[in-house]
Structure 1
Amino acid sequence: MRSINQQRNGDSKHAAGPAVSGGFSAAIPGMAETFQLIRDKVSAAGNGSILKRHSGAADIVFVRHKDAKAPEKFKYFCSDFHVHVGRDSKLGQNLSGIDVEVFVNEHKTSLTMQIHEDHRCMFDRGSLKPSPTQIAEVGELLRSGRNSVRYQVLGEKALFEVRAFIYLWNAADKVVVCDIDGTVTRSDFLGYSAHLLGYEYTHDGVTDVLNYLHEAGYRILFLTARPITIADRTRDFLQAVGVSARDDSSQSLARMLGLHTSDTVLGLPHGAMITTAERWVPALLIGLSSDGPRKFKTSVLQEIKSLFGDRECFAGGFGNRSTDSSAYRAAGISVSRIFLVDDNSKVYVGKMEGESQYSSYASLCERLPTLFPPVVSDAFQHDQTLRENGSSNLAQEGHQGISPEDIEKAFSLFGRQDGGGEEEEEVGRTGTGLSLRSSGRRSA
């Protein structure tokens, strides 16, 4: 294995070329600027700014199970570690074989990955998962919900680092899947571009729906066919939803140009975000192929499902294409809990045929307590604590915690009777007093 310093000394020590006197460079027009550009690129390699632009990592899901043999202990299962480092073709450095250290919540772990020829990072024997012992080590460093993970190149001075999050969920948790492009945004293509231009192009009411689900105890999984190399920018986008709407100047400019703008000022709740493991071109081919998105999302959902053992973990899914619906059904999500939104923000149940069942996300909000009754989980307990301190919108009156067994029974009824009916209405009546009012708080 080679450290990054060995490569620097061998491959790149002459990258900037010999020093040129100020008089010589000044005598040739543009020469001073050329050498300054070279010096800037070498400096950028030192702090990793070149590589960071083409690096990325998907979030990781850890699921905690009680150990049947030792109830006071836990077993952990995790999704794949997808990490991609930037290509450094401009400076001629080959990063293959370099070690990458893994830090969790800023604690250095025993985990070490290696950069392969395709610039993907892998564990021993080409695995995307650490060993069972290492999984247990990481599990003990995690707190419920979101945790930081940092991948750092091994060397005296790190050339670059890649950041993502690890989400710790429990085996009894319920998960709601949400596509991003066309589902959070109003368009597969324009939503992300609009964010870069500083205005909102998201569906009105989507933040209310997802915040209700989070406060009701559901775990949120954002699933997107975007390339892994823009994972950081996608996280920034999710974090910024609702922020641009508060900037009246950018919204006013968008309205002057005749563009739809969102009125939401409520941010999205945190949720695990998983992208493709591909760079731009392969990811684009996946997105444009007729069956690529379905295969990708089906594969990810089957992996997440396997982490929960024999429990049915998925409670619902939001998307904007028939391929989303197909992937969600393959993961075991009831058709009556699959919601597809069109470009006009109309929401369909199961498939986009006939009349839409809901005119918007806002009208869907009115049915959420029936469709998704509150569940007991660490996420709910966190919000319940905030409620007692007067910081949450969970209604004080009428809500009593529903046990995991009750929730399993309710969802089994929904699975057998996709059209809703009396069973659904009964659960709705015994369901709950979760408020749909929103405070704008972004929960952990």
Structure 2
Amino acid sequence: MSSILNSIAKMRYKTKAVFSGVTDVVVVDQGEEKYASTPFNVKFGKLKFLNAGEELVIETLNIKEKSTIKQMSLIKLVIFINGEKRDDIQFYLDDDQIGHFAYDQKADIEELKQKYLEQTKQNMNLQQQQESKLIPQNKFLVLSRVPTSKTIQSLKLKHGLNTITYEVECKRLGLQHIECQLFMIKQNQKIFISDIDGTITKSPTKGMILSTFGRDYTQDHICEFYNRLTQRNYLILYMSARSMVQYESTKEYLLRQQQQGIQLPPGPLFLSPQELLEAFTIEVIKKQTDILKSQMLNDLVFTIGVTGTIQGGMGDRLNDIQAYKMANIEYERILLINKKGEIVRVNNEMKEEKFTIKEIIQKMDQIF
């Protein structure tokens, strides 16, 4: 184990120097030209950039903690939506090189603060008092990883799969870019949440490590099961406590999985915003994945509303069940799987039932 941790620690150093991370985005079309989205999570490694911006007074809206107001210099990112360059989208890296949308118009700021107030239930009075003392009005911006409805509408997204590319110029490495996917869905879209390590793979530890080296450690019949769900109009949302630094390798792993000519269906990938070593510690050592997954699920529930559209989930730990219950998934549609491919579910009489994936497939009409 010590040799593994040493290797991860070295990778973390490289991550800070070079590597970057990103997660997919879900946008919900709420009708009547109103839209909501999960956070646009993107972070570039500790790089030196060209054209550092003017130092401004910035308020950064945070979900889990109080918003912060401080002076910082921002780096402009260029965004491409479905291959089209969008210079009109104001998207910047902060001092920690995390991406945010930037707003200076009162109506936009009020909309964003209302969203965060609803989600965090925090009292904004103290922050408003701070603003009146700190803000030179002509140089004040509010940063948010969640865009306004108007911004989403301006992206000219198509329903289904879209691509986002973030681009920035660095002094030594030249042009750097990260690409991810954006899924635009309707308000009533049914969603099935799937863990990856220990659920699609047979073991959380071996699955996380062996997949890096191209070793197959996948649950039998998992591709058929998830494709049967998509035939019933479910969107599979893949969720893991892996660091978003591992986005590209995780996405490639999901794309590689094929059983009897059937691939895993496409779907958004949500990863932890933590750095590589922190994510590895939480996932493998502390086994506290429910904390990270609950936050990701909270973002999703807040985006689509508590409408019951998250209608199923599968994981390999009791922590996963706890996280899925927070998303209001019914017990009988929460599946707990072990490395042997055995699934446990609680039926509507609150009694445990055991199945194989093959048997679950045969009971699709009854369960889903």
TM-score, normalised via structure 1 length = 0.61
Matched residue, 2:90: 112
- Cα separation, 2, equivalents of 1:345 and 1:318: 12
- Output the CA distance in 2 between the equivalents of 1:313 and 1:52: 40
**Structure 1: 5+ residue stretches without partners:** 1-48, 68-73, 243-262, 373-444
Q: Does 1:102 align with 2:61?
A: no
Output the CA distance in 2 between the equivalents of 1:226 and 1:151: 21
Any residues of structure 2 matched to 1:269-348 within 5 Å, and which? Answer: 269-288=265-284, 292-348=288-344
1:268 and 2:264 are equivalent in the alignment: yes
CA 1:346–1:149 in 2, change beyond 3 Å: closer, same or farther? same
Change (3 A) 1:266 1:341: same
Report the counterpart of residue 152 of structure 1 in structure 2.
Answer: 167
1:333-412 map, 5 Å: 333-350=329-346, 357-358=354-355, 360-372=356-368
Q: Please list the CA deviations of residues 122-145 of structure 1 after superposition, one character each: whole Å capped at 9, or x if unmatched.
A: 22223112233211112xx22222
Deviation per CA, 1:245-274, whole angstroms, max 9, x where unpaired?
A: xxxxxxxxxxxxxxxxxx654210001100
Q: How does 1:191-206 map to 2 (within 5 A)?
A: 191-206=207-222
Q: Deviation per CA, 1:214-247, whole angstroms, max 9, x where unpaired?
A: 12111111110000111111101100112xxxxx
Higher strand share: 2
- Pick from 56, 66, 85 the counterpart of residue 31 of structure 2: 66
Partner of 1:170: 186
SS in 2 for 1:195: helix
Of 225, 234, 239, the residue aligned with 2:241 is 225
Contact map agreement 2:245 2:276 (CA 8 A) in 1: yes
* SS of equivalent to 1:369: helix
User: Percent identity over the alignment?
Assistant: 24
Task: Find the structure with the greater CA-based Rg.
Answer: 1
Corresponding residue for residue 113 of structure 2: none
Secondary structure of the equivalent of 1:230?
Answer: helix
User: Closer, same or farther in 2 for the Cα pair 1:364/1:193, shift >3 Å?
Assistant: same
Provide closer, same or farther for how the CA distance between residues 344 and 155 of structure 1 changes in structure 2, counting only shifts above 3 A. closer
Q: Is the 8 A contact 1:176 1:219 kept in 2?
A: yes
**Paired residues of 2:21 and 2:247 also in contact (CA < 8 A):** yes
Q: Deviations over 1:137-187 (max 9, x none)?
A: 12xx22222110000115899620011000011001111000000000001
Tell me, what secondary structure is at the counterpart of 1:164? Answer: strand
CA contact (8 A) 2:36 2:148 kept: no
1:137 aligns with 2:154: yes
Q: Check conservation: 2:22, 2:247, Cα contact below 8 A.
A: yes
Alignment deviations for residues 78-137 of structure 1 (CA, whole Å, 9 cap, x no partner): 110100112238x99999732111111012232232222222122222311223321111
Question: Structure 1 residues 79, 57: closer, same or farther in 2, change over 3 A?
Answer: same
Q: Secondary structure at the match of 2:165?
A: strand
Q: Secondary structure at 1:136's aligned position in 2?
A: helix
When the two chains are superposed, the root-mean-square deviation of aligned CA atoms in Å is 3.0
* In structure 2, C-alpha distance between the alignment counterparts of 1:282 and 1:194, rounded to whole Å: 19
Count of aligned pairs: 293
**Cα pair 2:37 2:147 within 8 Å, conserved:** no
Q: Supply the distance in 1 between the matched residues of 2:233 and 2:211 (Cα, whole angstroms).
A: 29
Unaligned runs of 5+ in 2: 1-13, 54-72, 103-141
Residue identity opposite 1:119 in structure 2: Q
Aligned pair in 2 of structure 1 residues 302, 51: CA closer, same or farther (>3 Å)?
closer
Cα distance in 1 for residues equivalent to 2:315 and 2:211:
20
2-side partners of 1:302 and 1:196: how far apart?
Answer: 29
- Alpha-carbon deviations, 1:390-431, whole Å to 9, x = none? xxxxxxxxxxxxxxxxxxxxxxxxxxxxxxxxxxxxxxxxxx
1:178/1:221 contact within 8 Å kept = yes
Q: Distance in 2 between matches of 1:50 and 1:325?
A: 31
